[in-house]
Amino acid sequence: AIISRDIREYDSWKRMKEQDNISEPQDADLESLPSSQPLFCQHSNECSQKETVIKEIPYQLDFSHLPYHSDAENNKQDCKSVRAALFEPGRRKSLKDHLKSAMAGNARSSASLASKSKQLKEAIVTEEMTMAETTHSLAFVDIGPFYGLPTKVKELLLQIRGIEKLYDWQHDCLMFESLQKRKNLIYSLPTSGGKTLVAEILILRELLCKQMDVLMILPYVALVQEKVGSLCGFGMELGFLVEEYAGSKGRIPPIKRRQKKSVYIATIEKGHSLVNALIEAGRIDTLGLVVVDELHMLGEGGRGGILEMTLSKILYASKSTQIIGMSATLRNVEDLQQFLKAEFYTSNFRPVELKEYVKIQDSIYETDSKAENGLTFSRLLDFKYSSELQKVDPDHLIALVTEVIPKFSCLVFCPTKKNCENVASMICKYIKGDFKKVKEKEKYNLLRELRNICNGKLCPVLKRTVPFGIAYHHSGLTSDERKCIEAAYSSGLLCLLTCTSTLAAGVNLPARRVILRAPYVATDFLKKNQYKQMIGRAGRAGIDKAGESILIVQEKDKELVQNLITSPLESCHSTLLLESNKGIRSLLLSVVGLKIANNPEEIYQFMSATLLSIQPQLLPDKSLRDVTMEALQWLIHNGLLKEKENSDGEKNWQNNLGITQLGRATFKGSVELAHCDTLYTDLKKGLEGLILESYLHLIYLITPYDMIPQCSPNWMVYFKQFNQLSPIEQQVTSTVGVPESFITKKASGQAIKNELDSNTVNRLYLSLILHTLLRETNIWEVSEKFNIPRGFVQSLLNSAASFSTSVLHFCEELDEFWVYKALLPELIKRLSYCVKAELIPLMEVAGVLEARAKQLYNLGYKTLAHLANADPELLVKSVVHMSRTQARKIVSSAKMLLAEKTEALQEEVEELLRIPTDVP
């Protein structure tokens, strides 16, 4: 209000001056001007010696990110002075007095002094108005007593999460000086320490206090869906939107909301696409905060490279976006701090004590950092095993888990998927039958639900283990099965899960005891980061007083395990140079395409702000400049970038660079550079004779290339499925380059003189799987027909839905592919849900998969509006195995989705009714 008054007073004075044609005041008469203006001059040299405390405004202004601007360091003290001048108490007169004094001075002034005064005064007012605008944009408004948030937020935390009070470290972190100054921050604590709650409070502050959008990046689709569900309740109560960006979900670019702010919950890949779209649309400054969970993912394979690209672009393109990174496993924090220009906060706090043990033969050792080999003896095992049981279970798994279950929960991490199933079966074979009597009726209902999920089919292993309260958990399950098992474990119905390492990094399923079956993930020895993630699941806050982990070790691995226990965490290194510099090439393509940088020198300056630039040890033979220039030349040579003509009409790549149509399509579609030429060729060839009697030809064109190496066709199945196609569908196989004669010879075992391209053959086989799935929508039946794991079918479906979205964005940039732009949206929708049309509105809701959608539909919840207005208590009573928490999340998510759609339609109507400003 004070800033606005300054501007209004100046506008009023200026209008009166123009009307009366009065001259400017003399220097002496500047004392009569509004006090904030002469004070700007008076205090400009004094502000470094004192800080003015502002008490008259109900919020504190935050200038923390002015230093990031190129000229802000020089003006930093001036900014403080203006702030003090604008708001110092007791210095303001009435507008009437100001105008009288100014007019009296004007009458006495001379022309020369007036000119000097005019320049000074206009400079002061211009500066003041600029500062007013800046102040308004940077202001952090306290709107309540709960870390700047209203008391309602605290009430919602209690109501929705059951959180009465924050941990001391959470309070300290939220009050951390760097956060108060809006600096970037990295914070690291052990798993289960409560890191996410701090991030969520910061997200709410950005949405409600600063009125800016927020992006939260999570590593997995399941985590995105879980987070969307958990935040929707807050969104409905506090008036912001929660938008999911995972798989094929999420609009690119996001809808520009006028009424409400949005928090985008995204996977790493979708977050990158979202940031690209915001930069291209000139809207990146609307993103006030970016939160990255599992920041250590920066150092993990190709996905780490994508995350580095995303953060590098945000840092370079937006000086006002704050970045918060969190992880439980970080070592070379200094590198990450330098990359993100961030402060660091850490604590060893864990709400539940964790004790780490190692089992070698019959002895249990506790890890001890003070011991020479990292281990101290704890106890000797003396389980009364029979000779038969000793042969079956030499590692005493059965005894170790029955010390805990069924009263408490237990996780057993196994190296492979098959091992998970074998261990679960072995335990059930030898434990007492009394385990079956615990919650017998509920477990029977769980088996019935699993059978319904799979349309009458039931995994024989689960059929045998679930009555004992035991199940396995790995990627071989369908999404519906995994969700059902996770819910049963969380509710205490299942007390033991045998699982692969992916569970440790995925959804939060803690346990009283965590057992690592062997120090291996598949055939690779365990990394320290993986070990910490797994054992971090031990101990449930508010349930267990302590948690414990036991790593089972064979004598041959003893030395390796001792090194594992005593070694530090792995460092987080840039992955832009992996796979023949794939990451840096992709990054530079998008940097030019987004016009972030246009010539080699600007591009090199951009690269100098990446994580790669901070880690020269990754470039032992070449400099960063050399690697950058080589990547640019590769992009030009492969037709993705082009040289622009200079003023003399000459082309030289050392001058400005531009992006080709193919290059733009590649980065807009987030297509891997290794596949862009192949995709373009396949789509071009498809136009020559596109067969649209069924979806088969289109399905072939969107079958993901990265799934091909995982495919090994069963030739008899191939032949059988080919014969079940219609005559026109069979033409598709010949059109793409796999004739019937080839399939017949392969199935009969005949020699082939001229082998076909294996990628084309295998891709068509995957297309037949997807085609069959779309017709039958039953993963179990398709799995049996093709004799492949149902989890692979699920993975193929999810991957195809995501890749089809990329293909659509690829085609949108190339006019010649206009036909695909019209055809692909419907196919994407079918792949995304793969259910009957009536279930799709329900499956759009976060957390509702096919099985749950069927249950809800059969109970009469047939539309999004039905679900949004449902009573959570009635859902708990009506739907089998639906907890109260799940019911509330589903209803909140449905309300949020309905609000998003309503908001979008209202804004569209307003836009249509808006009177153009340029009407003749």
* pLDDT, average across residues 246-256: 88
Identity at 178, one-letter amino acid code = S
- Say yes or no to pLDDT of 479 above 90: no
pLDDT tier at 91, thresholds 50, 70, 90? very low
* pLDDT, average across residues 840-868: 88
- pLDDT attached to residue 109: 47
CB 780, CB 794: distance < 8 Å: no
- pLDDT attached to residue 183: 94
Lowest mean pLDDT among 168-182, 703-717, 744-758: 744-758
Most confident of 82-91, 122-131, 134-143, 474-483: 474-483
DSSP letters, 599-653, are SHHHHHHHHTTSHHHH-GGG-SSS-HHHHHHHHHHHHHHTTSEEEPB-TTS-B-T
Q: What percent of the chain has pLDDT over 70?
A: 84
Residue reference for tokens 């590692």? 395
Q: How far apart are CA 673 and CA 663, in angstroms?
A: 9
Q: In angstroms, how far is CA 411 from the centroid of its own chain?
A: 26
Q: In angstroms, how far is CA 573 from the centroid of its own chain?
A: 20
- Say yes or no to pLDDT of 755 above 90: no
pLDDT tier at 135, thresholds 50, 70, 90? very low
The pair of structure tokens assigned to 340 is 């993100």
CB 374, CB 568: distance < 8 Å: no
Backbone angles phi, psi at 350, to 5 degrees: -145, 125
Give 70-79's long-range contacts (Cβ < 8 A, gap of 24+).
77/44, 77/47, 77/48, 78/44, 78/47, 78/127, 79/131, 79/134
Number of other CB atoms surrounding residue 739 within 10 Å: 14
Query: Within the chain, what is the greatest distance between any pair of CA atoms?
Result: 114
The number of residues making up the chain comes to 920
- pLDDT attached to residue 232: 92
- Say yes or no to pLDDT of 75 above 70: no
The answer to whether the bond into 510 is cis (omega within 30° of 0) is: no
* pLDDT, average across residues 687-710: 94
- Say yes or no to pLDDT of 80 above 60: no
In this predicted model, what pLDDT tens digit does every residue of 350-379 receive, in sequence order?
A: 888 899 999 999 999 999 888 888 899 999
- pLDDT attached to residue 51: 36
In this predicted model, what pLDDT tens digit does every residue of 521-538 receive, in sequence order?
A: 989 999 998 999 899 889
Number of other CB atoms surrounding residue 82 within 10 Å: 26
- Say yes or no to pLDDT of 139 above 50: no
SS (H, E, C) 855-869: HHHHCCCCCHHHHHC
Number of other CB atoms surrounding residue 229 within 10 Å: 24
Q: How far apart are CA 805 and CA 534, in angstroms?
A: 34
Residue reference for tokens 């339609």? 905
Q: Indicate the DSSP class of residue 59.
A: S
- pLDDT attached to residue 705: 96
| H or E element at residue 8 | helix 2-20
- pLDDT attached to residue 40: 36
- Say yes or no to pLDDT of 773 above 90: yes
- Say yes or no to pLDDT of 737 above 80: yes
Q: How far apart are CA 504 and CA 539, in angstroms?
A: 13
Identity at 152, one-letter amino acid code = K
Lowest mean pLDDT among 92-96, 147-151, 202-206, 489-493: 92-96
Q: How far apart are CA 844 and CA 851, in angstroms?
A: 13
The pair of structure tokens assigned to 538 is 């031990």
- pLDDT attached to residue 320: 92
To the nearest whole number, what is the mean pLDDT of the chain? 84
Whole-Å CA distances, 15 to 10, 21, 252, 493, 873? 9, 10, 46, 77, 64
Which candidate, 59, 75, 204, places its Cα nearest to that of 136? 59
The pair of structure tokens assigned to 364 is 């249990």
Structural domains in the chain plus CATH codes: 151-346 (3.40.50.300), 353-566 (3.40.50.300), 577-659 (1.10.10.10), 668-834 (1.10.3380), 836-919 (1.10.150.20)
- Say yes or no to pLDDT of 890 above 80: yes
CB 139, CB 288: distance < 8 Å: no
Give the SS3 label for residue 832.
Answer: helix
CB 228, CB 218: distance < 8 Å: no
Q: What percent of the chain has pLDDT over 90?
A: 57
CB 383, CB 575: distance < 8 Å: no
- pLDDT attached to residue 392: 92
| H or E element at residue 313 | helix 301-317
* pLDDT, average across residues 422-427: 95
Q: How far apart are CA 808 and CA 822, in angstroms?
A: 9
Looking at the DSSP bridge assignments, the partners of residue 354 are 547
Residue reference for tokens 């006030």? 288
The pair of structure tokens assigned to 636 is 């030009």
pTM of the model: 0.81
Environment class of residue 695 by beta-carbon count within 10 Å: exposed (0-12), middle (13-18) or buried (19+)? buried
- pLDDT attached to residue 140: 56
- pLDDT attached to residue 63: 35
CB 764, CB 742: distance < 8 Å: no
* pLDDT, average across residues 166-174: 94
The pair of structure tokens assigned to 359 is 């089992």
Q: How far apart are CA 873 and CA 479, in angstroms?
A: 25
The pair of structure tokens assigned to 740 is 């019937």
Whole-Å CA distances, 710 to 31, 137, 140, 713, 759? 80, 51, 51, 10, 11
Residues ≥6 apart with Cβ < 8 Å to 411: 496, 497, 499, 503, 509, 511, 513, 514, 515, 537, 538
Which candidate, 831, 893, 894, places its Cα nearest to that of 861? 894
- pLDDT attached to residue 620: 83
- pLDDT attached to residue 32: 38
How does strand 262-266 pair with strand 213-217? parallel
Beta strands in 517-607 (DSSP E): 520-521, 524-525, 546-553
Residue reference for tokens 């940097």? 591
CB 733, CB 713: distance < 8 Å: no
DSSP letters, 683-720, are HHHHHHS---SSSHHHHHHHS-GGGGGG----HHHHHH
pLDDT tier at 131, thresholds 50, 70, 90? very low
Residues ≥6 apart with Cβ < 8 Å to 105: 25, 26, 28, 29, 32
Looking at the DSSP bridge assignments, the partners of residue 472 are 498
Whole-Å CA distances, 462 to 109, 444, 459, 722? 95, 12, 5, 33
How does strand 513-516 pair with strand 410-413? parallel
The pair of structure tokens assigned to 277 is 């779209």
The pair of structure tokens assigned to 810 is 């690829």
Q: How far apart are CA 632 and CA 641, in angstroms?
A: 8
Whole-Å CA distances, 697 to 189, 398, 444, 687, 836? 50, 52, 44, 11, 21
How does strand 375-380 pair with strand 363-367? antiparallel
Lowest mean pLDDT among 17-26, 501-510, 861-870: 17-26
pLDDT tier at 727, thresholds 50, 70, 90? very high
In this predicted model, what pLDDT tens digit does every residue of 622-635 receive, in sequence order?
A: 999 999 999 999 99
Lowest mean pLDDT among 211-225, 272-286, 728-742, 831-845: 831-845
In this predicted model, what pLDDT tens digit does every residue of 593-652 receive, in sequence order?
A: 999 999 999 999 999 999 999 999 998 889 999 999 999 999 999 999 998 876 666 666
- pLDDT attached to residue 909: 86
* pLDDT, average across residues 727-732: 92
pLDDT tier at 264, thresholds 50, 70, 90? very high
- Say yes or no to pLDDT of 807 above 50: yes
- pLDDT attached to residue 12: 52
Give the SS3 label for residue 657.
Answer: strand
